[in-house]
Amino acid sequence: MRAKAFPEGLLMLGHLIYPHLSPMFPEEILHAIVAALVSRPVISEDLLQFHWRYVRGKLLSLALASKQLRRICMPFLFAYIEVKGAHGDLEKLGEQCAANPSFAACIRTFDLYCYAPEQVDAIHYFLHRCQNISQIILNKVQLDESLLHILRRHSAARIALASYSLPTCKEVGWLTMKRLNIGIDHTSIRDEKSELELAKHLECGIQLRSLTIHPNLLHKSFSTCVFGGLCELELWLSSIPFSLSWLAEFTAAHPLLRKIRISTPSVWDTAIMARDIPLIFSFLGEARREGLADEMKLQLKGFSVTRRTSPEATAALASSSSLTHSAESLAGWQVTGLWLSFTEKFSSRLLQLVHSSFPQIRIMSIENPLPSHGVKFIASFSSSSRPFYPVVVTDHPPPGNGRVDKLPLLFYFPGDPQFALRLWQHQLPR
């Protein structure tokens, strides 16, 4: 089993299990219940911080119920191990793995913060005893030739770089880089120099999960660029003239790309939106016709689109003869997130339009305080009649539009986990 297969859970099923009843359940049923406890479909499975996806608090009490449940829970409890880099911690972990092979066999993800060259032997000692590791996460770790040599011996593990700190292929050898399964979690293209540096590493076979393109480069055509493994793309738009005409070919060349986040200025070039991103333009057009999209009343600060997972749905949309080239290229995509700012009073009609225009929306960020009737109205989007409940997440608002000091709250609707409303803590109704 890979650690990646067990995301954090939405449902608490532990109260259904009693110690004196557990022998009555087949082992497969107990495995399924524990897997459901740590399953959280709302959170992306690609988050590097795997501890977000493990509900250890829910499993600890369950693991104490019986020896059988403790044995079943153990692979989930210790699938993710994090070492912060304190002196001696890595050495102690290696000794623990040597003394307890069953514990070592549970570890699937190893997350290392900080690294010193003198620790290379301790890393080798630890990895040698953890043969089931499928991912090694390096945070603020500067790769050197000695560390790369150790990691190459454990080629079955994917090496994920949470911070972009790769040496050049020339420094460590092109073949050494090619033999490693290295992936960069996220990087930004800010200028021509950073674009060239990234291209050299990608030539060595390095995969890139998430990419941000800054506005000063949006005049360029990225239609011919290919970033291996790209899953998420973030675009920072600006009031400077730009074109997204390359987006059609870009999405076609990246079959793994499933989410595009776009942060916008307060002033929109609607002609560009109509030509390059028709998914959002139809909503803006309808809002203007109803007098709801005046810049003095509403600012659309960002949105995200997600690729449909159903090939049949994509093919059906793409076969429509009325689609333009831009629309056809995004026929398999749908708007799943919006970031709104009301500059005047709250408009329930606008949110009705959002709901009807984007039935698949999952997250909506509202920057302004909401009146109590506004919260009640949004709650009616969900099929659930129960009150929603808050979950604090270490997420941030779209960049480039000012700083929000307080963490946002994520409101899940229990009856409809696909729809969530994110508000800022200081804007909750009293």
398 pLDDT higher than 70 = no
The yes-or-no verdict on residue 33 having pLDDT over 50 is yes
Whether residue 237 is predicted with pLDDT greater than 60 in this model: the reply is: yes
pLDDT at 257: 92
Has residue 362 got a pLDDT over 90?
A: no
- Mean pLDDT within 275-279: 69
Retrieve residue 226's tokens.
Answer: 């290919």
Q: H or E element: which one contains 373?
A: helix 372-379
Label the pairing between strands 109-113 and 389-392. Answer: unpaired
Task: Write down the pTM of the prediction.
Answer: 0.69
Place 379 in a pLDDT band, splitting at 50, 70 and 90. Answer: low
15 pLDDT more than 50: no
Neighbours of 139 (CB within 10 A): 21
Tell me the C-alpha distance between 208 and 228, whole Å: 6
Lowest mean pLDDT among 133-137, 175-179, 256-260, 339-343: 175-179
Q: Where is average pLDDT lowest: 127-141, 218-232, 243-257, 302-316?
A: 302-316
- Which residue spans within 219-344 are E strands per DSSP? 232-236, 259-263, 298-307, 333-342
pLDDT at 293: 65
In order of 38, 94, 165, 181, 284, the CA distances from 178 in angstroms are 35, 28, 17, 8, 47
- Residue 372: what pLDDT? 67
The region of weakest confidence among 123-132, 304-313, 347-356 is 304-313
Q: Which two tokens stand for residue 174?
A: 């092109």
Highest mean pLDDT among 93-102, 183-192, 207-216, 380-389: 93-102
Per-residue pLDDT at 381: 63
Name the average pLDDT for the chain: 70
CB 304 within 8 A of CB 258: no
Residues 143-168 have a mean pLDDT of 74
